[in-house]
Amino acid sequence: MNAKNVLHFAADQGAKFVSIRFTDLIGSWHHLTYPIAQLTEDSFEDGFGFDASSLRGWAAINESDMLLVPDAGRFWIDPFAEETTMCLIANVVDPITKEGYGLDPRSVAIRAESYLKFTGVADTIFFGPEAEFFVFDEVSFRNDQNSAGFSVNSEEGHWNSARQGTDLYPNTGFHIRPKEGYVPVSPLDTLVDLRNTISNLLGEVGIDVECHHHEVATAGQCEIDFRFSNLLHTADNVMLFKYIVKNTAVAHGKTATFMPKPIYGDNGSGMHCHQSLWKDGEPLFAGDQYAGLSEMAKFYIGGLLKHAPALVAFAAPTTNSYKRLVPGFEAPVNLAYSARNRSAAVRIPMFSSSPKTKRLEFRPPDPSCNPYITFAALLMAGLDGIQNRIDPGAPLDKDIYDLPPEELANVPSLPGTLDEALTALENDHEFLLKGDVFSTSMIERWITYKREKEITPLRLRPHPLEYSMYFDI
């Protein structure tokens, strides 16, 4: 697509406004909205000026001026705007150098795809993420100096089994027990119509849904799978997917969250990342080795496993992420690979014998991550494995959670906290700097922000559970 195509689309749709969208360092969408007349062919070269100093983790006040340069390859009509509004995804560009801003996540993804082609290893990497989420009927939380707490509710939640029903909201007795929510039919699954609506809207904005279903946890855990694509396009899709899910839920009087572990004692939400390398239209991960993999695929796995402690600083980037990454809830905390074994950090799906479907699934990521940065980091780790022929060792086809302690002690594991993951990233990030995909300053900014804005505030606050454990001590 080019600028003319975008402008013709806007005219055909009767667009009155254009929303220019971009992603901050942490992974949230932002936008500026302009009357449609402000969008011209020159806009796709000159961009729109804006102040980046107030965005999380971004420019200092003395270097705040940036440009939003729209990508003519991605546009759609916002299904939630009252006035007809066309949306465009933009890259953040330094106005002086005219290059992608070093802290712009989308620019990182673009550089990663360019580096892949430069290596000659492959020309395309495909990603297929499985982003899980919760849909609640209501949520409240507070963090004051003298009080703290949260409350969530879902009609599906097992804690409503004893609720006193009313004429308006009768208690039907159909509630999902903890860890028993995987793919039930209605009336247990109360969200099928909502997921249908979300799926239809995703199709309208260019995201092809393959399947949707209820997930394992009680209280409205869902998954909607959409078709894989290249790194940049898939990261764009994740951002748009989250926007559609959240706004559709609100439109139906509910709320959706991609927080990895919102409920104690039940499964959290992951974002397993399927990935495969291709060159000249041919798949490169199919071969005659373990689970039908090629030697290249095994080396790619070796890179993922070697760098996994550092990778999760991006892929599982919140303090809450490590309440999901614990044994017992299908969480891949141990660094191993296996065919079919979902307790391994890397799984090789065995649904098909076709070489075109041969891929690997990296399971630690969760949907709180910034997809541009996460996908780029996974690619760089895999490429490092290929370039340095990193042997992943023997596969582990046993259920890791049932291994005896002496055998489990030989299986390395992920960091247990975000702070540990950030330390791992501090000590292991040279592979990210190849091809100038990541910069040292960007990595340092990420680590500093996470420690100052997330880890320290949590560490300094008394927890409600501490009152239960220690008040009478």
Task: List pLDDT tens digits, range 286-339.
Answer: 999 999 999 999 999 999 999 999 999 999 999 999 999 987 666 788 899 998
Contacts of residue 356, Cβ cutoff 8 Å, sequence gap at least 6? 283, 286
Query: Please, are residues 348 and 342 in contact by the beta-carbon 8 Å criterion?
Result: no
- 130 among known catalytic residues: yes
Distance of alpha carbon 330 from the chain centroid: 18
- 138 among known catalytic residues: no
Quick one: pLDDT at residue 60? 65
Exactly one of 51, 63, 138, 391 is catalytic; which is it?
A: 51
- 113 among known catalytic residues: no
Rounded to whole angstroms, the Cα distance separating 436 from 232 reads: 17
Exactly one of 132, 155, 236, 366 is catalytic; which is it?
A: 132
Cis ω before 187 (30° cut-off from 0):
yes
Nearest CA among 86, 76, 18 for reference residue 205: 76
- 461 among known catalytic residues: no
Quick one: pLDDT at residue 387? 98
Query: Please, are residues 246 and 196 in contact by the beta-carbon 8 Å criterion?
Result: no
Exactly one of 71, 155, 215, 366 is catalytic; which is it?
A: 215
- 223 among known catalytic residues: yes
Rounded to whole angstroms, the Cα distance separating 435 from 115 reads: 6
Query: Please, are residues 9 and 36 in contact by the beta-carbon 8 Å criterion?
Result: no
Contacts of residue 458, Cβ cutoff 8 Å, sequence gap at least 6? 319
Pairing of strands 337-339, 346-348: parallel
- CA dihedral for 288, 291, 297, 303, sign (positive or negative): negative
Quick one: 13 exposed, middle or buried, by C-beta within 10 A (0-12, 13-18, 19+)?
middle
- 399 among known catalytic residues: no
Quick one: pLDDT at residue 406? 78
- 347 among known catalytic residues: no
Exactly one of 104, 113, 189, 223 is catalytic; which is it?
A: 223
Rounded to whole angstroms, the Cα distance separating 288 from 268 reads: 35
Quick one: pLDDT at residue 170? 87
Quick one: pLDDT at residue 38? 97
- 215 among known catalytic residues: yes
Exactly one of 342, 428, 445, 454 is catalytic; which is it?
A: 342
The first and second tokens of residue 308, run together, are 């996994």
Rounded to whole angstroms, the Cα distance separating 304 from 382 reads: 6
Q: In the 3-class helix/strand/coil scheme, how is the chain assigned residue by residue?
A: CCHHHHHHHHHHHCCCEEEEEEECCCCCEEEEEEEHHHCCCCHHHHCEEEECCCCCCCCCHHHCEEEEEEEEEEEEECCCCCCCEEEEEEEEECCCCCCECCCCHHHHHHHHHHHHHHHCCCCEEEEEEEEEEEEECEEEEEECCCCEEEEEECCCEHHHHHCCCCCCCCCCCCCECCCCCCCCCCCCCCCHHHHHHHHHHHHHCCCCEEEEEECCCCCCEEEEEECCEEHHHHHHHHHHHHHHHHHHHHHCCCEEECCCCCCCCCCCCCEEEEEEEEECCEECCECCCHHHECHHHHHHHHHHHHHHHHHHHHHCCCCCHHHHCCCCCCCCCECCEEECCCCCCEEECCCCCCHHHCCEEECCCCCCCCHHHHHHHHHHHHHHHHHCCCCCCCCCCCCHHHCCHHHHCCCCECCCCHHHHHHHHHHCCHHHCHHHCCCHHHHHHHHHHHHHHHHHHHHHCCCHHHHHHHCCC
Strand order across the beta sheet in which 29-35 lies: 29-35, 17-23, 85-93, 65-77, 48-51
Exactly one of 347, 363, 419, 429 is catalytic; which is it?
A: 363
Quick one: pLDDT at residue 332? 82
How confident is the chain (473 residues) per 10-residue block, as mean pLDDT?
93 98 96 97 95 80 80 96 98 92 94 98 98 97 94 94 86 92 94 98 97 96 97 98 98 98 95 97 96 96 98 98 82 85 85 88 97 98 98 85 74 92 98 97 96 96 94 94
Residue-wise pLDDT for 340-354, tens only, equals: 676 789 999 988 778
Query: To 10 degrees, what angle do helices 231-251 and 105-119 make?
Result: 150
Quick one: pLDDT at residue 1? 74
- 82 among known catalytic residues: no
Rounded to whole angstroms, the Cα distance separating 384 from 430 reads: 10
Rounded to whole angstroms, the Cα distance separating 244 from 138 reads: 19
Exactly one of 71, 94, 130, 156 is catalytic; which is it?
A: 130
Query: Please, are residues 337 and 395 in contact by the beta-carbon 8 Å criterion?
Result: yes
Query: Please, are residues 30 and 22 in contact by the beta-carbon 8 Å criterion?
Result: yes
Quick one: pLDDT at residue 138? 96
Residue-wise pLDDT for 424-454, tens only, equals: 999 999 999 999 999 999 999 999 999 999 9
Exactly one of 94, 113, 266, 361 is catalytic; which is it?
A: 361
Quick one: pLDDT at residue 25? 94
Q: What is the distance between the terminal CA atoms of the chain, rounded to a whole angstrom?
A: 67
Domains for the chain: give ranges and CATH numbers: 3-101 (3.10.20.70), 124-470 (3.30.590.10)
Query: Please, are residues 338 and 348 in contact by the beta-carbon 8 Å criterion?
Result: yes
